[in-house]
Amino acid sequence: MKKVVIVTTGGTIAMTKTHDGVVPFAGGNSLITQIPKLGDIAQIEHVEFSNVPSPYMSPSMMWHLSRLVQEIVERDDVDGVVITHGTDTLEETSYFLDLTVKTEKPIVFTAAMRNINELGTDGPRNVLSSVKVAVSDSAKGMGVMVCLNDEIHAAREVTKTYTSNVATFDSPGYGPLGIVDEDAVIFFRKPLLRMHIDVEGIEERVALVKTFTGDDGRILREVKRLGYKGVVLEGFGRGNVPPDVADVVGEVAKEIPVVLTSRCFKGRVLDVYGYKGGGADLVKRGVILGQEVSAQKARIKLMIVLGKTGDREEIRKYFETTRMRGELQI
């Protein structure tokens, strides 16, 4: 029987409802390993990393979790890892590990939308399905995955789409990698845009700024003054911004890396529009075109890349992997 290490970090899956609302409780993580039939699937080892709501998960905690998981997957007796996490920031932590943990062994994030004592809690089923994925030979080399509601998603592509529904996680524009159907783990495709970045530390001081109609750029201008070492700018459509923001982008990009993303969750930013504030204009002003599926994931990647290099052109290579209109560059 294969061995799976379950690393618990907290989240709704380890919470209960009190008169103050839904909160973590001391025994929440340990209950996860007591799910019936879990021992029929794999030998289980439990490691408690933390017991916090996922909004408490910081980049520093993600880094330490990454190092812990790297140590675990390097053990000869371990075949896979399942990580329980809160849903709010799961997509960021899972992508962080996808970029920083080097292994062919399956790493699966899972969670729950309903707390332990809520009717129809989804946590036990999600853990069982995730362990099934972790012991599947087909899951090897698939990178970090997210498994909830019997769907398997790639960490790079997945996002939380619903505030309360158990079917909240989706990969818009991509779809799931596969499904768990009773005892069968079925993959439809393999993610091709994965990247591993070998670093010994990260730069946490990376901001995220979302532009808006009528934006004059004053918020973006404050980023450098506040001590941030990089910024992700979420623009419109192809990565376009209001004209006043374009001038500020040029100012900020001379000092720190500015990675441009889109508020659209399908497609990619590109240097198409040449008007002031258009993507082509912003490239001339020094922006880096981010190809991640969301601004929050581009921020995760920039923190990691800045832990490796401060050279602007080297940073650009990590982000502009698909810039040349149809020609894949990695």
Q: Which of 138, 140, 240 is nearest to 179 (CA)?
A: 138
Centre a 10 Å sphere on the Cβ of residue 274 and count the other Cβ atoms it contains.
11
Q: Which member of 9, 12, 84, 110 is catalytic?
A: 12
Residue 261 is a catalytic residue: no
Q: Which residue has the tokens 């997210």?
A: 146
Distance CA 166, CA 60 (A): 29
Q: Give bridge partners of residue 180 from the DSSP assignment.
A: 185
- Determine contact, residues 42/81, Cβ cutoff 8 Å: no
Catalytic residues: 12
